[in-house]
Each structure stands twice: as C-alpha cells, then as structure tokens.
Amino acid sequence: MDLFEYQGKQYFARFGIPTSPGGVADTVAQAVEQAELAGYPVVVKAQVKVGGRGKAGGIKLAGDAAKAAQAAEAILGMDIKGHVVRRLWIEHASDIAKEYYASFTLDRPAKLHLGMLSASGGVEIEEVAATNPEAIARLHVNPVDGLDEATARRWVDEAQLDEPARDEAARLLVRLYRCFVEGDCDLAEINPLILTTEGAVHALDAKVTLDENATFRHPEWEELAGGEAEDPREQMAKEKGLNYIGLDGSVGIIANGAGLAMSTLDVVNQVGGSAANFLDIGGGANAAVMSAALEVINSDAKVRSILVNIFGGITRVDDVANGVIEALSRVEIRSPIVLRLDGTNAEAGRALLAPHLSERVLAEPTMLSAARRAVELTR
C-alpha cells in the first residue's frame, strides 16, 4: 500500500523523523487556515500517489493568504497523470541549503536491506543512478545485525553530505531504518532530505510503501487505507476478497493462480486481443468465488467476452465444473463465456459441462484455443 505524502510524514513522525510543520486541507478555506497555522511562506502540495507533481504544477509557494488561496484553488481538482487532486498538504516553506536523497528497501538479489544515500537529492534517483551512479552511496544491512549509529555515520561520510549535516543525518537514518523494519515498509524514501540554512536536517517529502502482508500487526494502518478514488471495479473486487487488477481491454479474465492469470493475459495478447483485467481466484474455484468473479467482470462495461482459465491440480476439474455451472445459474452474464478447464479429472469435468454449453457458454480444450475463441467473440 502506497501512502500519500502527508500520511508518510505522519508515519515518519511515529519514529521520530523530523518533518516541516503543516496540515491537510480539502478546500480552499481549509488551505488558508492551515497556511496561517504553519506560518508564511508556505508550500501548497498536491496529495497524489504519483511522481512528477512538481513539474505538473502541483506544488506552489505562497507568501500570504491570498496567494495560498490562489494556489489551493489552482491545485485542487487538477489532473496529474490521471490522478485527480482532492487533498492538499500545506507546510511552512523551509530555507533549503542542500537537498539529499535517502531510502531503504529490500535488495532482492542480495536478500539484504539496501540503503541508498546521495548528496544529490531532489531529482529522480533513477536519473542519478543512470547518469552519475557514483553519487549514490549504497549500504547493505543484514537484517540480523540492523543498523547502528556508528555505521550510519560512516555511511554519511562516504556519501559526502555537507559537514554540518552529518551527525544529525546519521541519527535520522537510524530512525528511518527503524521505520523501514519495525514499520514494515517495502520502501521508506525521503527525497529530498534537506539541510536548512539554520543547520537542521529533515524530511521535505515522504514516499512510503507498506507491506500489506504485515497488516495483522499494525492496527494503526486501518486509517491509512482509501483516500484516493479507486477504480470502482477494483473497489468492488476488494470488497469481495478477490485479487483483481483493472485493465483497459475487452476480454474479461478469470484464472486460478497468479502465474496462470498473468500467462492468460499474455496469451490473449498474443492472439490479437486485450484483457480487461487480471483476476486470480486462487486455488479453489467454488461457486461462491466464481459468482463473485463473474459479478465484478459484469460490472465492466468494456468487457465483450469472458475467458475462464482454470487448471485443476489439487482442486479437481469436476469440482470446478460444478462451481462454474452453479455460478452461471446465479449470475446472469452480460457477455459470452469461454471455459478452459484442464488438469486433474478434466474429462469428468468436461462431461459435466457438456449439457450446459450453448452459444453463450463455450468450452475449449487448450489455453491457446480458448484465448482465440474469446478474442473472436469480442469482434
């Protein structure tokens, strides 16, 4: 789960990472109120979960109430790469002496934590990595050892942060590491991390991705969910407990297993079609799950045909077939459906399906032929 900047800053605050004083606003009036509280000059920042909002005009400086209102007016409702701005973060504008970059993430090939620190912050780190890789000091941290302040201090030296920033930056990095580990982040990133003209070091931005697998030990995460208008199909799927991602094509996909679902998308593409969604219904394919899946697909106006691709391993295909038959009796599908059921007990499953087949309910023996048929039906 990606957090908004303001949520990320609130999350940082739990671990003692300093940020600028500020507040959230959903209206122009609230924006002015928050600006007065923070003290001018203020920065008015669009809260969207997408990079590049500065370039898009989503961050504005304001020296007084009139300018703050003007900025809020301009930014609220703005469309930034498909994300509509509904909320602002207003904070006191910092006097920036230097901009740095700091982050922790998991280095998957190394199977260790990876810290990245750079004296060239404020720009996209991918850009720095591509054009000037030496400007990033990388530190591998073994989760068994953790990160202590002495190590963090050496790391800061290596990254050549400015001398006045070094001690405070080292302390902040230890806190950021704690936030990353104890806070169960997939990513904890500060860009820019700044040194102010008064010599303080703090986070001017916050990019935090939480590991949803750890939700069970973070009751405080509940209030972080939502906030941004989601794809209504995805919202519906989430309510039904389905693993669904909305896409733009016209073939609705239902498959069991993430790999098979991904593979189904690919095969539909290979035969000249495009998938309306990714949907993994998991190991079981009973009538309840299948009905829920069909309801979500039905809600998608772009869908012209449905492709069900189930491989029965432990789940026997005859059981799957019964589930599909029952689901089709419960849910009236808007588009024709192509079924590819294979695996354990496939023949028994196909025999069960046979009397239910029609112009709207078709069966195909292989993934490829099923994809072809589903794509033909969209035309």
101 given a catalytic annotation: yes
Options 177, 189, 244, 364, the catalytic residue: 189
Q: Which is nearer to another protein, 122 or 249 (CB)?
A: 249
Please count the other Cβ atoms lying within 10 Å of the Cβ belonging to residue 104.
25
Angstrom distance (rounded) from CA 205 to CA 266:
37
Options 6, 11, 100, 101, the catalytic residue: 101
Residue 231 Cβ vs another protein, minimum distance, rounded to whole Å: 11
Of 227, 217, 205, 214, which Cα lies nearest the Cα of 11? 205
244 given a catalytic annotation: no
Q: Which is nearer to another protein, 124 or 223 (CB)?
A: 124
Residue 236 Cβ vs another protein, minimum distance, rounded to whole Å: 17
Q: Tell me if residue 150 falls in helix, strand or coil.
A: helix
Q: Which is nearer to another protein, 162 or 211 (CB)?
A: 211
The residue behind tokens 């309840």 is 288
Contacts of 309 (CB under 8 A, 6+ apart): 253, 254, 255, 256, 260, 261, 264, 340, 367, 370
Please count the other Cβ atoms lying within 10 Å of the Cβ belonging to residue 225.
11
Q: Which is nearer to another protein, 111 or 330 (CB)?
A: 111
User: What are the helix (H) ranges across 196-307?
Assistant: 232-239, 258-270, 287-298
Query: If 0-12 CB within 10 Å is exposed, 13-18 middle and 19+ buried, where does residue 142 land?
Result: exposed
Angstrom distance (rounded) from CA 265 to CA 227:
30
Enumerate binding residues for another protein (CB under 8 A).
106, 108-109, 111-113, 126, 142-144, 181, 184, 186, 211, 213-214, 216-217, 243, 245, 247, 255-263, 265-270, 274-275, 278, 280, 311-314, 342-344, 366-368
Angstrom distance (rounded) from CA 31 to CA 71:
9
Please count the other Cβ atoms lying within 10 Å of the Cβ belonging to residue 77.
9
197's tokens = 């003209």
Q: What is the CA radius of gyration of the chain?
A: 26
Active-site residue set: 101, 189
